[in-house]
Amino acid sequence: MRDGDKLALRSEAYADFLSGMSSSTVQTEYEVLHLMRQCTAQFGFQHFMIARIPFGEEQRFAERLVLSSWPSELVRDYDAATVFHSSALIEQLRQTKLPIFGDTASLLAADSTATGCAGRLLGGETMCRTFAVMLHTTYGEAFAVLLSGDRAEPDRRETADLYLALLQLFQTLERTFETGASTREKLSVREIECLRWAAAGKSSDEIAIILGISVYTVSSYFKTATRKLDSVNRMQAIARAMRMKLI
C-alpha cells in the first residue's frame, strides 16, 4: 500500500476516533490516559508524554510529569540527567506556537547532546522521532505534549488533525485538574506544609526541624497525604499536589 493510501485510511480512522470520543463523560486521569494511548497509536507513534513546562532551573522532570507511557527506567534516568529544563525542546516550544518534529535525543538533551542511559533510550528505535506541541490551560499554565516513535514527519493535513486531537484531549485532562479543590479540603494544613517543604527539596529531618515536630509525625503526614492524593509514593503525591495547585 502506498504512503498516500495509508495516510488516507489513517485520516478516516482519526475522524471516527474523534467523533466517537465523548469528552464530557471522561472524569479521571486514567480515562484520559487510555484515550492518549488510543490517539498515540492512531497516528502511528509508540509513546506519549505530557509534562508541565519548567519555569526555573533544574526542576525535576518527574515532578513536572503528568501523564506518560514512557518506560519507567527512562523516566528515572531522564529525571536523574536533570536536562529537561534546558533541553532544545523546551527552548523551541517557548519560541513558537507551532508543533515541532525532530530527533528525540536532540530535542530532549541539553546542548544537543544526549547523555548516559537516558540518551540511548531516547534514541531507541521506538522513540527516535518526536512530535511536540505546547498547550495552555484556561489559566495560562503551559504544558509540553509529546508523541514519539519511528514514523516519518506528519504532513500538513495530518499535523492539523493531530493538533486538534491533542487539544481536545488536553481540554479533557484539564477538567480532571479541577478535582484539586475538593482534595484541598481533605488535606490538613500540616499535610500541605510537609508537601510544600518536600517540593522545595527539604528532607524529612529538615521538615521536622522547620515545623517543630518529630520525624515520625512528618512521615505520618506524608503517608496520609499520599493516600488522600491517590498516589503510590511521596514523589507522585508532590507532583499531583503541584498539578492541582495545592502547593
- Report the pLDDT value the prediction gives residue 11, as an integer from 0 to 100: 55
- Report the pLDDT value the prediction gives residue 1, as an integer from 0 to 100: 46
pLDDT tens digits for range 62-95:
878 888 999 888 888 888 888 888 888 999 999 9
pTM for this entry: 0.68
pLDDT tens digits for range 11-23:
565 566 666 555 5
Q: Structural domains in the chain?
A: 3-177 (3.30.450.80), 180-243 (1.10.10.10)
Q: What is the mean pLDDT of residues 213-226?
A: 90
- Cα angle 97, 101, 103 (rounded to 5 degrees) comes to 140
Q: How far apart are CA 124 and CA 118, in angstroms?
A: 10
DSSP assignments along 165-207, one per residue: HHHHHHHHHHHHHTTHHHHHHHS-HHHHHHHHHHHTT--HHHH
Grid cell digits, residue 100: 515541532
Amino acid found at 211:
L
Q: How far apart are CA 229 and CA 244, in angstroms?
A: 10
Residue 132's DSSP bridge partners are: 100, 146
Q: How far apart are CA 140 and CA 129, in angstroms?
A: 28
Q: How far apart are CA 244 and CA 151, in angstroms?
A: 34
